[in-house]
């Protein structure tokens, strides 16, 4: 079985997790350099980073605009920071938030907008710049969890705004096992973030071996031959953390969301910063193979090939995702469902979102998007594309 995701980690990363000597500050320095920014500040999760960023900016009882088509934890972090999420539908035919609709939703309550380069597709920075020029009081934040340094016509998205948020768990483009990061060029904000962190975040203390073992297990278990066995014995349990990470009725956050990363995470993170350009290069190459091979079989469902995209996911739009997932699984390929829930429709958000929307484009994406494994070799990619082409 070919798993839908696999971290770009190997034996040396696992060794680094056990015995690497890097401190979190060294990881922050490497990450800031990779993103071309003055400051990087590390947190336990991307969502923790987002909450602390909102706190450092001093927002309370305000509106924060975010894409309806995004990871549910972004909305959770807004609510848990004491603010109100305002969901914005996706642009027609695309994946990112519709910035015309976002601009129309701005009121005097609006504090910020979380621009998101979903699946690695860069936000239209020209359109965002026009929005920002007309509403200079609205703070622009970038959610770069899918787009570590995606570029809009040559400009890295993370630098367009006050700060950018990153998630670093093993399902992301690059990983430090656990962790999140904020980057900014604003020195005053960076100091505030460090102060907020010092007040609220606890030390790493005593979890190193557990986290190193976790990375070792994830690295080994997601090798295809082993994955088949693991999948059989665990019935998906290993990936639950990433597949079933939310409860429709709850606005919650993991119990350890204030427990800082330590040397295990930092040592893996420093290595991944060095590996990152190669990781994206490989994913672009595999996405190109999928796109070329599916051209004759299924041209209409293919994702756009956008210059500067980071390919966190290769997303295909199909009429019956569950059927494709089942049929591909029967042929040894795990296809992912990504954001198959509509956040504004969840019981936890229905009331808040009742006066917002409509969310037609988002619901269309929720009901049609699947993602193909991008970590695979060229040979495996050809097999995956041929198999899916035949099914479709
Ligand atoms: C993963 C993710 C986050 C948050 O990262 P965590 O570390 O899981 O809290 C934020 N936004 C998007 C789009 C993500 O995919």
Cα-Cα-Cα-Cα torsion 223, 225, 320, 323, nearest 10 degrees, comes to -160
- What pLDDT, on the 0 to 100 scale, is given for residue 220? 87
Domain boundaries, the chain: 27-199+272-392
In sequence order, what E strands does 155-313 have?
155-156, 163-167, 180-184
Q: What string of pLDDT tens digits covers the 392 residues of the chain? A: 899 999 999 999 999 999 999 999 999 999 999 999 999 999 999 999 999 999 999 999 999 999 999 999 999 999 999 999 999 999 999 999 999 999 999 999 999 999 999 999 999 999 999 999 999 999 999 999 999 999 999 999 999 999 999 999 999 999 999 999 999 999 999 999 999 999 999 987 788 999 999 999 889 888 787 777 777 666 655 556 655 567 778 898 999 999 999 999 999 999 999 999 999 999 999 999 999 999 999 999 999 999 999 999 999 999 999 999 999 999 999 999 999 999 999 999 999 999 998 999 999 999 999 999 999 999 999 999 999 999 99
Ligand 1 pocket test: pick from 5, 44, 46 the residue with the most ligand atoms within 8 Å of its Cβ.
Answer: 46
Ligand 1 pocket test: pick from 64, 68, 71 the residue with the most ligand atoms within 8 Å of its Cβ.
Answer: 71
Half-sphere exposure of 50 (CA within 13 A, CB side): 34
> b vs e for 107-141, b when ≥16 Cβ sit within 10 Å of the residue's Cβ?
eeebbbbbbbbbbbbbbbbebbeebbeeeeebbbb
Instruction: Ligand 1: list residues with CB < 6 Å.
Output: 45-47, 70-71, 73-74, 116, 143, 145-146, 167, 169, 180
- What pLDDT, on the 0 to 100 scale, is given for residue 237? 59
Closest CA to 163 of 179, 180, 140: 140
- Beta strand 63-67 with 139-143 is unpaired
- What pLDDT, on the 0 to 100 scale, is given for residue 230? 73
What CATH number should be reported for the domain whose range is 27-199+272-392? 3.40.640.10
Distance 145 CA to ligand 1 centre (A): 5
């Amino acid at each position: 079985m070919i798993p839908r995701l696999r971290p770009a980690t190997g034996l040396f990363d696992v060794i680094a997790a056990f015995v690497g000597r890097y401190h979190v500050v060294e990881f922050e320095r490497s990450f800031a350099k990779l993103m071309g920014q003055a400051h990087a500040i590390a947190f336990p999760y991307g969502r923790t980073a987002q909450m602390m960023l909102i706190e450092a900016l001093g927002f309370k009882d305000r509106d924060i605009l975010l894409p309806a088509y995004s990871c549910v934890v972004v909305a959770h972090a807004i609510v848990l920071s004491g603010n109100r999420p305002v969901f914005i539908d996706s642009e027609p035919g695309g994946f990112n938030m519709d910035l015309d609709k976002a601009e129309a939703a701005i009121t005097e309550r609006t504090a910020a907008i979380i621009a998101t380069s979903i699946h690695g597709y860069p936000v239209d920075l020209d359109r965002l710049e026009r929005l920002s020029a007309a509403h200079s009081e609205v703070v622009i934040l970038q959610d770069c969890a899918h787009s570590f340094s995606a570029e809009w016509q040559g400009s890295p998205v993370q630098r367009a705004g006050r700060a950018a948020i990153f998630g670093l768990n093993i399902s992301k483009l690059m990983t430090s096992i656990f962790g999140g990061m904020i980057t900014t060029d604003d020195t005053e904000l960076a100091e505030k973030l460090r102060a907020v962190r010092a007040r609220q975040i606890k030390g790493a203390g005593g979890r190193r071996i557990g986290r190193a073992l976790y990375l070792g297990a994830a690295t080994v278990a997601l090798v295809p031959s082993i994955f088949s066995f693991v999948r059989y014995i665990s019935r998906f349990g290993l990936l639950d953390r990433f597949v079933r990470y939310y409860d429709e009725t709850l606005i919650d956050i993991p119990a350890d969301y204030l427990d800082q990363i330590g040397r295990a995470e930092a040592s893996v993170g420093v290595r991944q910063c060095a590996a990152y350009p190669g990781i994206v290069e490989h994913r672009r190459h595999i996405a190109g193979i999928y796109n070329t091979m599916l051209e004759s079989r299924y041209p209409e469902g293919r994702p756009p090939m956008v210059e500067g995209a980071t390919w966190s996911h290769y997303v295909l739009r199909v009429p019956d995702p569950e059927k494709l997932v089942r049929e591909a699984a029967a042929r040894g390929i795990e296809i992912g469902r990504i954001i198959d829930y509509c956040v504004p429709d969840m019981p936890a958000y229905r009331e808040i979102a009742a006066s917002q929307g409509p969310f037609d484009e988002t619901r269309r994406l929720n009901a049609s998007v699947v993602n193909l494994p991008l970590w695979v070799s060229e040979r495996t990619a050809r097999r995956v594309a041929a198999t899916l082409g035949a099914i479709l």
